[in-house]
Amino acid sequence: MSTCGFGGKGWYIKIAIMSLLSCGSSYGYELIERLEGVGIRLDEGSTGTLYKTLRELEKEEYLCSIWKKSHLGPRRRKYSITEKGKEEIRKEVKRLKEIKGFIDEIIKNCKEVNKGVF
């Protein structure tokens, strides 16, 4: 996956978005709330960046969207993860687990070297 790779800026946001959508479809604004619910706060004014990211993920066929009528006002776009997106999130989770293992080992080594500091 080109945009979710670990060298890309914001890769963790993309993984988080796909992870949340794997639990159920959502509108953009709801995604912001769901991201905050898992501890990811977007900077003020980053709403446009979120929608740009959603469009990128949709272009890469990791997400799809449909327009829905809203009784509150204009139509809204509802996003869902695709099968391709689910497969990609499985790969990314595997990578995250590997990275977590490396980080855990580094922390363990630091604790041993700096006993009493941590």
pLDDT for res 8 = 55
Give domain limits for the chain.
Answer: 11-113
Q: Which parts of the chain sit beneath pLDDT 70?
A: 1-9, 44-45, 116-118
Q: Does domain 11-113 have CATH number 1.10.10.10?
A: yes
Residue-wise pLDDT for 52-86, tens only, equals 999 999 999 999 999 999 888 899 999 999 999 99
Residue 76, classified by CB atoms within 10 Å of its CB into exposed (0-12), middle (13-18) or buried (19+), is middle
